[in-house]
Chains A and B, each alone.
Chain A
Amino acid sequence: MDELREVMITTDEIKTDEYLINMGPQHPSTHGVLRLLVQLEGEIVHNVQPHIGYIHSGIEKMAESLSYPQIGHLTDRMDYLSAHQNNEAVALCVENALQVEVPDRVKYIRTIMSELSRLASHQLWWCVMGMDMGALTTFFYGLRDREDILDIFEETCGARLTVNYSIPGGLMFDIHPNFQRDVKAFIKKFKTKLPEYDRLLSGNVIFTERTKGVGFLSKEDAIAYGVTGPTGRASGFACDLRKHRPYSAYDKVNFKEILSDVGDTYARYQVRMAEMWESMSIIEQLIDNIPEGDYAVKMKGVVKLPEGEFYQRVETARGEFGVFIVSDGKKNPYRVKFRSPGFSNLFAINHIAKGWKIADLVAIMSTFDLVIPDIDR
């Protein structure tokens, strides 16, 4: 027995050479074409270098030759799960620059659509996170419920993912006559389905073992690395722009900013789960009170921004999305910069994953909820 113990102790002390492996660009847990160059010793991660740009599409360059209403259509293609919030950011930026006040109806509908979009995004995140952890069932549960939201989008906007709904000056179309009925039916249904999610995954022993106490991010580091959205809020960084810098109709609703001071992978999971309840509550407060009125203000045929620099921040499902427009008074912008939440969030990964095992890296990555076109732009 003593001999055996001696052998075990010595194997503990064996050090292996450091080696590099490429996780991705085809690895399923990177959710797209992201390559992580991981420096490992045995199973322990020593360094993670994200390599991006595989689907860099030059959206900022393209935007320089397009008119302002056209830019909105490109933003759909960046973070395709927060397509509506991205549209809204461009629309708000242009409206603020021109000092156009949109009707209340537009604000209410934009807020409802943003929250539906957030719900759909969190549902997809939840089901894919389960799949990363080896639970394929979650994938079917999540996609089943997400389908209802996409159907609502399709009915009102004509598209399921790239909605193109918010345009400078208002909305592309008015809501479908069935919109309110369908949304209310969805909320009623999803309220019974969300506890199912908890029963399926939240208490699962394998899942909690792999996520609780894994991959800590402190509040100071979250701020220093600019980690926003549910990922930042799980570390206690109060960064919800809906609360702190309200836009559209967020100042007319009551909701809680979900914060956690734990900062581990499970906290990031819990924050997103709790946010789904808050999103439903926001929709419920607005859906019966959509004011009558126009769904858009009449804009000039050619939208020209005054000379200057304009910035607009909105809260997407992944965090803070920013649009920075430099205008020289022409019909197309001089320079557009998109501050995408995933970009800043991704580069905190080296800081978080250091010292954890490579299997933990998968868990950490999945709670970051990365969308690669959002990072690559």
Chain B
Amino acid sequence: MTNEALIAAIDKIGAEAETRQGAQYVETFVPFAKMHVFMKHLKEDENLSFDYLICVSGVDHADHMQMVYHLESTKHNHMMVVKVKTDGRETPAIDSVTDIWPTAEFHEREAFDLLGIHFINHPDLRRMFLDDNWGHPLRKDYKDDIHIVSR
């Protein structure tokens, strides 16, 4: 499928998603409320069938958090990126996609640990690398007076 056809197929899902051709891959921005429905379509639609979730990354932007999902279809061999802004920055929450792609469970736990993003309906949301009383180090306002020397 060409990228134009892929964009057209994604646009058919609706869900207030905005799709465009990015620098490398097709990129889609979805509002967090519609995100779970949208992701389910991506997996189950015959023409799209994005069955392989490559990477889940959380990014702390100054006023919001963003989750970035890199997806690939092993059947059609196309790739796309889904970007979801969370609601607010202090206690961000977003739907878990563990029920769609099991691998998301662990990537989401990592994002919870390092960025403090909560995942709704996650089966087992625990810290992954760090202690429970540790902060969330990948947040931009994270301060560690002992270990990080600011110059």
Contacts and interface: CB of A to CB of B under 8 A. Distances in A.
A311 interface: yes
A140 B84 CA distance: 51
Given A56-B129, A238-B74, A344-B103, A324 B55 contact: yes
A9 to B, nearest CB: 39
Contact of B57 (A313, A324, A343): A324
B102 A224 contact: yes
Contact of A347 (B70, B105, B114): B105
Contacts of A339: 54-55, 57, 70
A157 B105 CA distance: 39
Contact of A52 (B70, B81, B129, B138): B129
Contact of B103 (A53, A224, A334, A335): A224
Interface in A214-267: 223-226, 237-239, 244
A337 B55 contact: yes
Contacts, number: 74
Contact of A310 (B23, B53, B60, B105): B23
B51 A223 contact: yes
A322 B54 contact: yes
A96 interface: yes
B29 interface: no
Given A53-B130, A335-B60, A344-B103, A226 B25 contact: no
B54 A320 contact: yes
A334 B74 CA distance: 31
B57 A308 contact: no
A61 interface: yes
Given A58-B137, A308-B23, A344-B106, A226 B54 contact: yes
A18 interface: no
Contacts of B138: 60-61, 335
B133 interface: no
Interface string A33-62: 000000000000000000011001010110
Interface in B32-74: 51-55, 57, 59-60, 68, 70, 74
Contacts of A76: none
Contact of B70 (A225, A324, A334): A324
Interface residues of B, number: 30
Contacts of B105: 347
B24 A310 contact: yes
Given A58-B137, A238-B74, A344-B103, A376 B55 contact: no
B128 interface: yes
Interface of A: 52-53, 56, 58, 60-61, 96, 223-226, 237-239, 244, 308-311, 313, 320, 322, 324, 326, 334-335, 337, 339, 343-344, 347, 351, 376
B13 to A, nearest CB: 21
Given A53-B128, A309-B81, A344-B103, 17 more contacts: A53-B129, A61-B137, A223-B52, A223-B74, A224-B101, A226-B53, A226-B54, A237-B74, A313-B54, A322-B70, A324-B55, A324-B68, A324-B70, A334-B59, A337-B55, A344-B106, A347-B106
Q: Which 10 A-B pairs have the closest CB atoms?
A: A53-B129, A226-B103, A56-B129, A339-B55, A337-B57, A347-B106, A335-B59, A225-B103, A224-B102, A322-B55
A311 B101 contact: no
Contacts of B51: 223-224
A351 B103 CA distance: 11
Contacts of A343: 106, 110
Given A61-B137, A344-B103, A344-B106, A244 B77 contact: yes
A323 B102 CA distance: 21
A351 B105 CA distance: 13
Name the residue in B25, B52, B74, B138 with the highest tally of chain A Cβ atoms < 10 Å from its Cβ.
B52
A238 B52 CA distance: 12
Contacts of A351: 102
A311 B103 contact: no
B138 to A, nearest CB: 6
9 contacts: A60-B114, A223-B74, A226-B103, A310-B23, A324-B55, A335-B138, A337-B57, A339-B54, A347-B103
Contacts of A324: 55, 57, 68, 70
Contacts of A225: 102-103
Contacts of A244: 77
Contacts of B77: 244
Nearest to A64: B138
Contacts of A309: 22-23, 68, 81
A58 B77 CA distance: 33
Given A244-B77, A310-B23, A376 B129 contact: yes
